[in-house]
Structure 1
Amino acid sequence: MSKKIDAISIEVMKNAFHTIAEEMGVALIKTALSTNIKDRMDCSTAIYTKEGKLVAQAEHIPLHLGLMPSVVEEVLKIFPPENLKDGDAILINDPYISGSHLPDIFMVSPVFFKDKLVAITGNIAHHIDVGGMSPGSCSVETTEIFQEGLRIPAVRIRKQGEMDEEILRLLTRNSRTGKEMLGDIYAQLAANKIGETRLQELFAKYSIEYVENCMEELMDYSERRMRKAIEKVKDGIYYFEDYLEGDGISRELIKIAVQVSVKGDNIDIHFEGTSPQVNGPVNSTIGVTSACAYYVIKALLDSEIPPNDGAYRPVNVHAKEGTVVNAKFPAAVSNANGNTSQRITDAILGALAPIIPESAMAACSGSMNGINFGGFNSETNDYFSYIETCGGGQGAVKGLDGMNGVHTNMTNTRNTPTEVIEQLYPILVKKYSLNEGSGGSGKYRGGNGIIREFESLMDNLVVTITSERQKTSPWGLFGGNNGKSSECIHITSKSEIFHLPPKVTMNVHKGSIVIMKTPGGGGYMDPFKRDEYLVLSDVKNGYINLQQAQDEYGVIINQLSMQIDKVKTAELRK
């Protein structure tokens, strides 16, 4: 039981812990070698108690937000605290322990002060290749974890300050991009070192007992706030279902069914009726599924709660083993992060929307819209891998339109600048724009998706696309219309046009063009209730066209004057 700490001290220490986690993130991003971390910022950082309880996390990626509370506790089962030494660093990426997919490598480091274990620092970084069937380690054709790349169960990469060069060689030799992997591992070490130094300064300024008490009280505070927020939600059981569009092997729909049970200050989330695990790599681990649940509950009920172990204590996830939301070893899992996580999130949001309409959001694009290019570049005589997750349309909420072309829900990375892509890889970016008119119409309009158009400058370029929402478009809320579906196109060097499935791994040749059009977000409330001058503004900004203004909003705009025809509009809107 922690000693009671006053509210002002807790606020000061909360910000101290959060600042340390943020500084760790800056160190990781600034020292990383791969574009995926230094440009796209596909990483997260956090600090923990010596027992492995999450204390504070930087505001990076929501998917990692829910994964990181459990991974350190699992590592401590393999390396008990009494066996840890000052200067140790542990790597792990096994999805059946850490919860994520193989490219996400966690690094865990103990923090000692006056020869005592006092805390733990941790980070997660998406490495651009860890082996497997195709560059990027996210082929849609895998059917078991062994095909997806090198699985690290939890190994000490550094022992009492000494790097294990043998493990480093093992890791880098099993990656197509070993140089980048090595650089990113050292960046992860640097991030944890920053956290260690800042925590030691904090313990020196106060005392071990005081800082540990503050950690415990902060977690208890988050738990109290979360329970208070849950109490405001009407008791009951709320149901929703949504679908994944195939697993990469088959295009059959895969059901995600969710029942959210609210009782007092607890929430139980069940997944009865969800499809069994599938052959392709969209199977989710229980870690990813839990992360989605934590994200939705926090976002809907109290987004300002400090993200730590206490915030998630009142949220209980129940998923039968062997289903697509709690896969059984050795199921393939690489694309669950980018797609299944988003559909789990959609399902939970959909279940709670009717009872929390003031916080509810229409469906977002529903996928991280992943695209990966890789292969052997004969000009540089080396392998390369470039990965991108493209933004889409955000769902509208009460009082606000959805944002255009952004990462939503479980993802929060940046894009790789076009100049960086073209400088480093044999790829030409021919187009990068908003997908006009893809946002669902409503009193509050859904955001538009994105169009990315790439041209291959080499033969035998391996392309992997992992997307969603070609058939089941993002749903609108309370009379708002669905967002427009996604589209993936391959135009060969001979000008042949192929419409691709949402998930594909393929080889293309020099002069081939790959186009990804991401979905828009759903609209909120009846489109005919939208202010007509906002519709005019949407047309002028290129978010919708004149025909959409008339058909979906009942607003007739004169193309020449770009003014509203009020007489015809009034008649149309009757």
Structure 2
Amino acid sequence: MTSPTESDPVVRQVIRSRLIAITDQMRLALQSVSGSPTVTEASDFFTGVYLPDGSFVTMGHQVTFEAPPVGSLIRHLLAKGTKLKDGDRIIGNDPFIGALHQNDVQMCAPLMVDGELLGWAGVMAHETDIGGMDFASWSPKATEVWQEGLRIPAVKLVDGGELREDVLEMILAASRLPAQVGLDIRAFIATLNVAAERMAELSHRYGKDTVLSVMHAMVDDAESLMRARLRELPDGVVRTRDFLEHDGKKDILFVIDCVLSKRGDSLRFDFSGSSPQANGFINSSRAGLAGGVAGAVIPTLGFGIPWNEGILRPVEISAPDGLICTAVPPAPVGSATVEAVWTVSNVVSAALNRLLFASPKYAHRAQAVSSGTMATFNLSGRDRHDKVFGLHLMDPLAGGFGAFADHDGQNAAGPINAPCPSIADVETNEQKNPLFYHYRRLATDTGGPGRRRGGVSAEIGLTVSVPKAEALVMTHGAEVPNSIGIGGGLPGGLVAQRFTPRGGAETDLGPKPGSFPITPADLFEVTWQGGGGLGDPLDRSPQDVLDDVRYGLVSEFEALETYGVVLAEDGRRVDEAATSAARRGIRAARLGVDPGTLPEPAPVSDEPVEGAVRLADRLIAVRDDASGRWHVRTLDGTVLSVGSTRWREGAHRFRPALPAASGATLHPDLTVTGWADPATGTLLAIDVHRHDQEPFHDIDLEPMWRRP
């Protein structure tokens, strides 16, 4: 029989809210005890509450990558049949069990109430160093996982409430920063203790069965809402790809290939076309693949839905073992989070947003790819007190956000996988580490051009305030425009890393400089990727371009060359006649025709097109009532395809010149293809692809789809 308390909707809502509050109290406990700027300033961590089977019920708004991996650790314990009791705290960091890479130390605790398992609490955070052949446990030289630091499978660190000092000492002995790691581990224990106490209090007040029932209902409700949302999106297949330009050692181009199949209320992501696992540290394990998918699905489709396992239940992931995103031992995975995992999120985000664009209800939410990489900067050495210091700089989170269909991307807003990104103040970084910033500022021309501009990234110039230190620098995206645009929008700017020694010339470091010494006389500079743009840059309001120039977000050169906007001599107003002529000239150049022969294109509107759906700003798909099949035309009426949404068959193909910030040094195996309306020269899409492969059709809508 259901108790009155269990069936009371007010009580059930109170419990829901309390569970979310407990997750936030876990966050507060972690940040209060931890001494690591990665946790306290940059929020590179995860806290959450789980069902007995390892499904997450609540999560914070820090790093969406990290919810599934802690669940993997829990499921590993359950599969092993580990005997658990109240007060146990289990620690792990093995990427082939549940972590993203060894630096992501995770802990979980069984939540026991009256001797029975109510659920689990989980916590996970990036540790600056966990051992290995190079500082920060990031080693471009690594060829196998054993070279990358200590791997902890799943070990009881606290047994029935008693800390196992010997296990803790063993873990800390592997790290070059034992004090920092030790404090964080104690912060993990405090975080789990808070969760255990609060969950016990909640259960004793409302009843364990009632609390567990609400936890299950939260996940079930999220699943129902997610499936209902998916039914509002069109059925079809979307293909996206992204690239990594090296494996830490060799300049080999690796591909993350995603084929998204959407049917009814389910999604299937197939990564089978991705490259085989690499010899270097850019791989991710299967846990990382799951994290990368979740990192894009949750924030892209989870708006207005409680963030828990229910959002992921309609999602299937398919990929054989041995790929760059499903690496198996002994593959190195030390930089997985910012290489393969991050790139998985890029392709998933790109695929989902193409579906959103094709949905009349959600087209306004369509977004280009945000901040397609995180360029890592690790620093180590001895401080002014001759003590070993170590830093994993989180400033690279300040990449640009992708443009939306109805507004520009936010500047320095970070990646899609970190919904509430934050970085330390310059003063905080300088106080806690021997750093000196020459500047930290927004970087002009890094936002992907488009009708809606991608957010610009930040950039920094820094040096050290000790006689000598060792920097370890690595990235992708210096030769690959990972922040891809959508619907004719151009990619965000590439990563640029530069080094200037005392009295020497500036050197372009490229994507993989690795380790090098740095002194107070040297200057390291880096500019990160901006967000992708949306729509043809020639459709952007000239007044908006003028404002961008005034605010230093776009240079006058790019305003003219990419946006076709001519400013008056005083730079305070737009020369409308000259702008109209410049834009006509750019459109004519795309087609290779005389500008005088081109008609003026129709203006772009954000309003839905009656009886049709938009595949992009200027691409309209109309379904034939008799055959049920799709035809695609441009906004200006040019028919591009009949019987399918493969509109590239009728578009004009040309070789675009990307802006200097976006395409200065493409990887030699890559090329860029542009697609334009053959009648007006308006830009429909930009494809980045291998030069020995043809661009592929990115979206095939199925004929059975009907608008709601």
- Give % identity: 28
Q: Which amino acid aligns with 1:70?
A: S
Distance 2:63 2:46 in 1: 6
Compared CA separation, residues 482 and 508, structure 1 to 2 (3 A): same
Conservation of the 8 A alpha-carbon contact between 2:249 and 2:280? yes
Deviation at 1:542, TM superposition (A): 0.8
Deviation at 1:6, TM superposition (A): 6.9
Distance 1:569 1:126 in 2: 50
| 1:301-359 CA-partner distances (Å, limit 9, x unpaired) | 33222222222111011111000010011111111101222211222233344332123
Distance 1:13 1:555 in 2: 56
Aligned residue in 2 for 1:543: 553
Distance 1:104 1:409 in 2: 19
* RMSD, aligned α-carbons: 2.1
| 1:132-153 CA-partner distances (Å, limit 9, x unpaired) | 1222111222121111111111
Question: What is the SS of the residue equivalent to 1:355?
Answer: helix
1:427 to 2:427 alignment: no
TM-score by length of 1: 0.95
Pick from 27, 30, 33: which aligns with 2:32?
A: 30
Deviation at 1:128, TM superposition (A): 1.3
Stretches of structure 1 that go unaligned for 5 or more consecutive residues are none
Q: Which amino acid aligns with 1:325?
A: C
Compared CA separation, residues 9 and 218, structure 1 to 2 (3 A): farther
Pick from 552, 558, 583: which aligns with 1:573?
A: 583
Matches within 5 A, 1:354-365: 354-357=354-357, 358=363, 359-365=365-371
Q: Which amino acid aligns with 1:175?
A: S
Q: Which amino acid aligns with 2:52?
A: K
Q: Which amino acid aligns with 2:324?
A: V
Aligned residues: 571
Aligned residue in 2 for 1:75: 77
Question: What is the SS of the residue equivalent to 2:110?
Answer: strand
Q: Which amino acid aligns with 1:538?
A: D
Aligned residue in 2 for 1:498: 507
Aligned residue in 2 for 1:234: 234
Q: Which amino acid aligns with 2:391?
A: Y
1:562 to 2:568 alignment: no
Deviation at 1:570, TM superposition (A): 3.1
1:383 to 2:393 alignment: no
Deviation at 1:299, TM superposition (A): 3.2
Q: Which amino acid aligns with 2:117?
A: L
Conservation of the 8 A alpha-carbon contact between 1:66 and 1:292? no
Aligned residue in 2 for 1:304: 304
Pick from 489, 506, 519: which aligns with 2:498?
A: 489
Aligned residue in 2 for 1:272: 272
Pick from 366, 369, 380: which aligns with 2:375?
A: 369
Conservation of the 8 A alpha-carbon contact between 2:491 and 2:532? yes
| 1:7-66 CA-partner distances (Å, limit 9, x unpaired) | 655543322211111110111011101222112221110111233221111111111133
Farther-moved stretch of structure 1 (492-501 vs 322-331): 492-501
Conservation of the 8 A alpha-carbon contact between 2:56 and 2:67? no
Aligned residue in 2 for 1:394: 401
Conservation of the 8 A alpha-carbon contact between 1:393 and 1:402? yes
Aligned residue in 2 for 1:469: 477
Matches within 5 A, 1:402-441: 402-411=409-418, 413-441=421-449
Deviation at 1:268, TM superposition (A): 1.2
Pick from 438, 447, 451: which aligns with 2:459?
A: 451
Farther-moved stretch of structure 1 (347-356 vs 484-493): 347-356
| 1:179-233 CA-partner distances (Å, limit 9, x unpaired) | 1111111111111111111111110110011111111111111111121122222
Conservation of the 8 A alpha-carbon contact between 1:492 and 1:513? yes
Q: Which amino acid aligns with 2:124?
A: I
Stretches of structure 2 that go unaligned for 5 or more consecutive residues are 358-362, 585-708
| 1:56-81 CA-partner distances (Å, limit 9, x unpaired) | 1111111113323333222333453x
Q: Which amino acid aligns with 2:378?
A: N
Compared CA separation, residues 355 and 45, structure 1 to 2 (3 A): closer
Conservation of the 8 A alpha-carbon contact between 2:283 and 2:339? no
Q: Which amino acid aligns with 1:228?
A: A
| 1:250-296 CA-partner distances (Å, limit 9, x unpaired) | 11110111111112222111112210000111101111211222333
Runs in 1 of length 4+ with deviation above 6 angstroms?
none
1:529 to 2:539 alignment: yes
Deviation at 1:105, TM superposition (A): 0.7
Conservation of the 8 A alpha-carbon contact between 1:360 and 1:397? yes
Aligned residue in 1 for 2:112: 112
Distance 1:482 1:350 in 2: 12
Aligned residue in 2 for 1:246: 246
Compared CA separation, residues 88 and 53, structure 1 to 2 (3 A): same
Q: Which amino acid aligns with 2:390?
A: S
1:146 to 2:146 alignment: yes
Conservation of the 8 A alpha-carbon contact between 2:34 and 2:187? yes
Conservation of the 8 A alpha-carbon contact between 1:95 and 1:101? yes
1:318 to 2:318 alignment: yes
Deviation at 1:402, TM superposition (A): 1.0
Aligned residue in 2 for 1:53: 55
Matches within 5 A, 1:156-175: 156-175=156-175
Distance 2:186 2:298 in 1: 33
| 1:91-134 CA-partner distances (Å, limit 9, x unpaired) | 10011111311111111112222233322211001111111122
Deviation at 1:559, TM superposition (A): 5.0
Compared CA separation, residues 454 and 14, structure 1 to 2 (3 A): same
